[in-house]
Amino acid sequence: MSSQSPVTRIGIVGTGMISRCLARLISRHYDDMTVTRVLTRRPIATVTDYPLTEALTQSVADLVDHCDLLVECSGDPYHGTEIIERAFEAGIKVVTINAELQVTTGSYLAGKGFLTEAEGDQPGSLAALHEEAVQMGFKPLVYGNMKGYLNHNPTPEDMAYWSARQGTSVDQTTSFTDGTKVQIEQVVVGNNYGATITRQGLEGLNSTNLQDSANILAQLAEQLGTPIVDYVIPSGYSAGGVFVVGRHDEDQAGAIEYFKLGKGPYYVLVRPFHLCSLEVGKTLRRVIAGGKILLNNSTTPTLSVAAIMKKPMAVGDVIERGIGGYSVRGEAVKIAECPDHLPIGLLKHSVLKRAMEPGQIVTFDDVELTPSRALDIVLQQHREAIHHQLLETQLSESVWTAAAERAPVALPKVAGSVLS
């Protein structure tokens, strides 16, 4: 790098594993960037494991005043939302490694400033693979994730063990294990590309051969007439990557078979790794160079992640947390088909207003929610998403009335529309 080239000041939100690894990467390998501030909610004196202790701050104003580009990787939709709004007020672009935030308030935020998920975690890796596939002439039908292990109701003891072994928080480990994280990731990808789901909770195929599983998913997509998002649980091959299934021009079939991608008509492009924090720098450089958004939850989402009860709970019981907790897990849903569902990212210290049983979808009427900026945003975006989909499908007055009665906030009619 020339001595005259500018150095971009990077601010980071969060001090967990992703933040620590990213800070090390930038400080050791990126001479065009420098980490200037790292926001933490912990007492600074207790953050002894961070590689750049001199950059730590508890002041949002200090963070915003000393960065040119913000990386949000706290994993907390509530906290991250407030920080991103402050960054946008200062005209700062934001890169997230926080699919949980994207699926909760990301659609609102995407309409207020530059917001992109980073390459490295599965959604960003799928976005990078999508770009490569389209440039090569493939027409994506399936955006696929891989999951190594699934247990919908893990025990706290098991999660504590695996958390310590893997170096991730207990909350993160639980959301990975019970399937919530993969549902969140695929919903973000689906919303970004206008893809849908075959059913609530996705197919989640047990897979011993990726091509066979890809053929099944591609056929489902073609039956629906639109691309889909889903995942497989591999057995006998690595679960460390992501994949795209697509078609190509028929007159290219011979060449593609010669290139060892099979006879078709469904071709599987595999990215056999996602290296999380080690790949974030690619997205940072993309943004710094003036590149477009890689991926976000879109401003008009059609998919969401509902909270599904894991165990019986009584009136007055508290759901301490949704994502990564032991009371609920997440499943992908179509917003228009489930307008009263409570997005799982909003559950935090929430008190039940009625008894719930395992398998039930939590609705806005079922809990007392903690007031927050994130809640205000979700209520507004949820109403707008329902309204948008009902208009698009040109539903009858009776269907509109039923949806309006179930929705968490009032659904206005639009003058001049079929629903007026």
More confident residue, 161 or 393: 161
More confident residue, 414 or 101: 101
Query: What class does CATH assign to 303-406?
Result: alpha beta
Beta strands 139-146 and 348-352: pairing type? unpaired
At residue 420, what is the residue type?
Answer: S
Per-residue pLDDT, 17 = 93
User: For residue range 128-171, what is the model confidence (pLDDT) as tens digits?
Assistant: 999 999 999 999 999 999 999 999 999 999 999 999 999 889 99
Lowest mean pLDDT among 81-90, 132-141, 306-315, 402-411: 402-411
Q: Which fold has domain 8-120+278-288?
A: Rossmann fold (3.40.50)
Q: Give the mean model confidence (pLDDT) for residues 4-28.
A: 94
Q: How confident is the model at residue 387 (pLDDT cuts 50, 70, 90)?
A: low
More confident residue, 61 or 406: 61
- Report whether pLDDT(102) > 50: yes
Q: How confident is the model at residue 413 (pLDDT cuts 50, 70, 90)?
A: very low
How does the average pLDDT of the chain come out, rounded? Answer: 92
User: For residue range 63-99, what is the model confidence (pLDDT) as tens digits?
Assistant: 999 999 999 999 999 999 999 999 999 999 999 999 9
For CATH 3.90.1210.10, list the domain ranges present in the chain.
303-406
For CATH 3.40.50.720, list the domain ranges present in the chain.
8-120+278-288
More confident residue, 241 or 409: 241
Per-residue pLDDT, 381 = 72
The reported pTM is 0.90
Q: What is the DSSP string of 21-71?
A: HHHHHHHHH-TTEEEEEEE-SS-GGG-TT-S-GGGEES-HHHHHHT-SEEE
| Percent residues over pLDDT 70 in the chain | 90
- If DSSP codes are grouped into helix, strand and coil, which group holds residue 253? helix
- Report whether pLDDT(214) > 70: yes
Per-residue pLDDT, 251 = 97
